[in-house]
Amino acid sequence: MNIVKFFLDEKYGGYNCKDASNIEMCTLGNFLSSEIGCGYPSSFKEWGMNDNWGEETNGNLTVLKKDGNYILLGDLFSEELTPTMLRVTRQQYAQIITDWQEMVCKLKPKEVIIKYENNEFIFETKD
């Protein structure tokens, strides 16, 4: 099982990624906390679901690429010769963003853990 943990920054209202079990989960953590965030609606979900919006995009920390029915997320500034990429289906990608917005941004729990197990992303929240 792989995990990434977030903690609410009560001063600013956003989330900080504090712990990840591997590079892929760290990338997911950076994507959600820095690119998606909780302040403004994100166009990343629409980009991932629309074939006419280009094959690649990036934010401040994350590069995203379409690969058939998959979305690849990687560190924009990776120092690896072959950067490690998180590979998720488009459906998983859309669900991760939806769960982040519904379970995290709207409810503002103090701690969030995303687990990846048996090819499924599971959000757990704690107050």
How far is 81 from 69, CA to CA, in rounded Å? 25
Interacting residues of 114 by C-beta distance below 8 A, sequence separation 6+: 3, 4, 6, 25, 28, 29, 32, 96, 121, 122, 123, 124
In DSSP terms, which residues pair with 125 in a beta bridge?
112
Checking if the pLDDT of 18 tops 80, the result is yes
Share the mean pLDDT of the chain.
94
Residue 2 is predicted with a pLDDT of: 97
pLDDT, position 73: 97
Break the chain into its structural domains and give their ranges: 2-126
User: What percent of the chain is modeled with pLDDT above 70?
Assistant: 99
Length of the chain: 127
| Single pTM value for the model | 0.94
